[in-house]
Chains A and B, each alone.
Chain A
Amino acid sequence: MKDNKGAGLKHFLNKESTAGVVFSLPFIIGFLLFMVVPMGISFYYSLCDYNILSPPVFAGLKNYIKMFTDDKVFFQTIGVTFYFALVSVPLRLIFALMVAMLLLNTTKATGFYRAAYYLPSIIGGSVAVAILWKRMFATDGVINHLLSIMGIQTSFAWLGNKNTAIWTLIILAVWQFGSSMLIFLSSLKQIPVTLYEAARVDGANKFSQFFKITLPLLTPTIFFNLVMQMINGFLAFTQCFIITQGKPLNSTLFYTVYMYQQSFEFYNTGYGAALAWVMLGIIGLITAILFATKKFWVYTEGV
């Protein structure tokens, strides 16, 4: 009898429909436990007056109303974050594409070049690079020293000026163009050589080959990169947190850092939760807008 039961269980577990669920179980549990539940809790808290010290009290849309009517810093951080993302992502993609085009003709040194360009992306998100960046742009840092070698004597405070501080972060972001470059490289290699040959026969020069063949065929890759990096650009945290802390005058205060401050420095947990939900809305909006523009400029095969 017992044997029979064991065999039955074995048979049950080995049915395709059961096996699929069993294999997917980690994700089912993880998704519920580490994403759905926390998001649910935070949605409730975002509707509450809640700081770490006192228990949450339901307050309706108060946090959201305050955000949009009575929080100048909120709008400022959105402005700063958009500025950062809208400048750094296109710059990074342009650099990535340019260098990918350069590295397309293989020589003996290509492997080495590829490594040199890719290395910054590998370590760019680390704290080590953030503190390095902070020291590079300090008044006595390497940037000012190099400028003085070139004849420009200066002790300009790059991080202290509200026009240049954000650019140190933008440069750091653009510097990490390596992974986009690799993605471009692999899609460039997939463009059939016959297309270029045909274009050459028709008398097209390099310039029009690039704009008529390469660029259109790359648009799906560019689109993918653009979506992922706009989102990531909007979420930058470590760099700002370590290098500028939003200074000076909140001119580099990223949205995520502001959210962190509200929740963990000012202890406005309910308000922080509301900020997180608004951020999700903004990211959804960016993605939706990008997808809406897709049909105007992204080339799709066979249309």
Chain B
Amino acid sequence: MKTKRKIGKIFYHVIVCGLGLVMIYPLVWMVMSSFKDTNTIFTTAGQLIPEKFVFSNYINGWKGFAKITFAVFFKNSLFISVVATLGTVFSSALVAYGLARCRFFGRKALFVAMLLSMMLPAQVLMIPQYLWYQKLGWVGSYIPLIVPYCFAIQGFFVYLLINFIDGIPRELDEAAKIDGCSYYGIFSRIIMPLITPALITASIFSFMWRWDDFLSALLYINESAKYPVSLALKLFCDPGSSSDYGAMFAMATLSILPAVIIFICLQKYLVEGISTSGLKG
């Protein structure tokens, strides 16, 4: 009985582990390839570990395109992602508090609008928004990549924060109100500190989505010095490029590094966000 159980256990780990390896194999392959001599990547594609580790791909890749280095692209991505994330999270917190704690005329309608905004995908809005931003003269700048997010248009985050605020006892609000605290004071002194975990979860998701965002950068940014990393990576596969695959894999590896670091350090928050509100990672 005991040995049978042990065999079952080993069997279980072999299966789960094997499947896990298949899952991460493509990523490991990419990272390993980025350390191979660029000419040998595809001749030795079946061999995972490089014969000798070279760093030239990182040096060549970092040089970027037409004198614009990847330092610029990373700086652009970081700027867009951080500012848009701060805007999203703060505005979503405001709206979530308003919808969760205040009764006012039009609240129900706003709720419906929020659900609609959750359902209405970015791809449907792609052309409408482009036409509108073109009218406003925003095309070619970072405004379309940042400003809309500062107006809580991502219903998911509002929804996540409302759920979290609902879990905070109303007695705290009432007590503060009796002590003469205004709604604004309650928001900044009671709600904001208490929803910090949810704010972190929302920030992580927002940051990763903005970092990965390719479509809006493709539409709105046409000057290569303003490219974020996602768009710059695409230059590697354009027909005209020299197709230095080593450099391409090296920069692709660097581009997913922030997400991987966040994932390793803040896994707890990610899992929470997904399992409590069904956010898509």
Q: How far is the CA of A64 from the CA of B135 in the complex (A)?
A: 24
Does B236 make an interface contact (CB < 8 A)?
Answer: yes
Classify the interface of chain A: helix, strand, loop or mixed: helix
Known contacts A27-B152, A273-B128; is-contact A20 B215 (Cβ 8 Å): no
- Give chain A's interface residue range (CB within 8 Å of chain B): 35 or more
Q: Which of B98, B132, B237 contacts A19 (CB 8 A)?
A: B98
| Chain A window 54-82, contacts with chain B (Cβ cutoff 8 Å), 1 for yes, 0 for no | 00000000000000000000000000000
When distances are taken between beta carbons in the complex, the residues of chain A under 8 Å from B233 are 127-128, 131
Known contacts A127-B230, A135-B245; is-contact A121 B281 (Cβ 8 Å): yes
When distances are taken between beta carbons in the complex, the residues of chain A under 8 Å from B129 are 34, 38
Does A238 make an interface contact (CB < 8 A)?
Answer: yes
Does B113 make an interface contact (CB < 8 A)?
Answer: yes
Q: How far is the CA of A179 from the CA of B270 in the complex (A)?
A: 10
CB distance from A291 to the nearest CB of B (A): 12
Contact at A238–B215, with CB atoms within 8 Å? yes
Q: Which of the listed residues B19, B26, B230 has the most CB atoms from chain A within 10 Å of its own CB?
A: B26
Does B131 make an interface contact (CB < 8 A)?
Answer: yes
B residues 244-281 in Cβ contact with A at 8 Å: 245, 248-249, 252-253, 255-256, 259-260, 263-264, 267, 270-271, 274-276, 278-281
Q: How far is the CA of A45 from the CA of B131 in the complex (A)?
A: 9
When distances are taken between beta carbons in the complex, the residues of chain A under 8 Å from B27 are 119-120, 123, 132
Chain B residue at minimal CB-CB distance from A189: B275
When distances are taken between beta carbons in the complex, the residues of chain B under 8 Å from A33 are 148, 151
Contact at B259–A141, with CB atoms within 8 Å? no
Q: Which of A21, A26, A45, A260 contacts B104 (CB 8 A)?
A: A21
Known contacts A41-B128, A182-B271; is-contact A136 B105 (Cβ 8 Å): no
Contact at B106–A103, with CB atoms within 8 Å? no
Known contacts A131-B248, A136-B26; is-contact A263 B130 (Cβ 8 Å): yes
Q: Which of A25, A30, A256 contacts B123 (CB 8 A)?
A: A256
B residues 98-135 in Cβ contact with A at 8 Å: 98-99, 102-107, 110, 113-114, 117, 119-132, 135
Contact at A17–B29, with CB atoms within 8 Å? no
When distances are taken between beta carbons in the complex, the residues of chain B under 8 Å from A131 are 233-234, 236-237, 248, 252
Known contacts A20-B103, A135-B245, A242-B234; is-contact A39 B95 (Cβ 8 Å): no
Contact at B42–A283, with CB atoms within 8 Å? no
When distances are taken between beta carbons in the complex, the residues of chain B under 8 Å from A186 are 274-276
Chain B residue at minimal CB-CB distance from A44: B131
Chain B residue at minimal CB-CB distance from A112: B20
Contact at B20–A235, with CB atoms within 8 Å? no
Q: Which of B46, B117, B152, B263 contacts A142 (CB 8 A)?
A: B46
Does A204 make an interface contact (CB < 8 A)?
Answer: no
Contact at A242–B237, with CB atoms within 8 Å? yes
Q: How far is the CA of A161 from the CA of B164 in the complex (A)?
A: 49
Contact at A126–B259, with CB atoms within 8 Å? yes
| Chain B window 180-219, contacts with chain A (Cβ cutoff 8 Å), 1 for yes, 0 for no | 0011100100000000000000000000100010110011
Contact at A27–B104, with CB atoms within 8 Å? no
CB distance from A259 to the nearest CB of B (A): 7
Contact at A119–B16, with CB atoms within 8 Å? no
CB distance from A55 to the nearest CB of B (A): 12
Does B54 make an interface contact (CB < 8 A)?
Answer: no
Chain A residue at minimal CB-CB distance from B41: A135
Contact at A23–B30, with CB atoms within 8 Å? no
Does B168 make an interface contact (CB < 8 A)?
Answer: no
When distances are taken between beta carbons in the complex, the residues of chain B under 8 Å from A224 are 278
Chain B residue at minimal CB-CB distance from A149: B46
| Chain A window 116-143, contacts with chain B (Cβ cutoff 8 Å), 1 for yes, 0 for no | 1111111101111101111110101110
Q: How far is the CA of A241 from the CA of B123 in the complex (A)?
A: 13
Chain B residue at minimal CB-CB distance from A176: B281
Since A16-B104, A116-B20 are in contact, a sample of 11 more A-B pairs with Cβ atoms closer than 8 Å, ordered by chain A residue number, is A24-B99, A31-B113, A39-B125, A99-B19, A109-B16, A116-B23, A175-B23, A182-B274, A228-B278, A259-B123, A269-B131
B residues contacting A by CB (< 8 A) are 12-13, 15-17, 19-21, 23-24, 26-27, 29-30, 42-43, 45-46, 91, 94-95, 97-99, 102-107, 110, 113-114, 117, 119-132, 135, 148, 150-153, 158, 182-184, 187, 208, 212, 214-215, 218-219, 229-231, 233-234, 236-237, 245, 248-249, 252-253, 255-256, 259-260, 263-264, 267, 270-271, 274-276, 278-281
* 13 sample A-B contacts, Cβ–Cβ < 8 Å, listed by A number: A14-B183, A19-B104, A20-B98, A20-B107, A23-B94, A29-B151, A35-B153, A45-B131, A126-B214, A136-B29, A175-B26, A272-B127, A280-B124
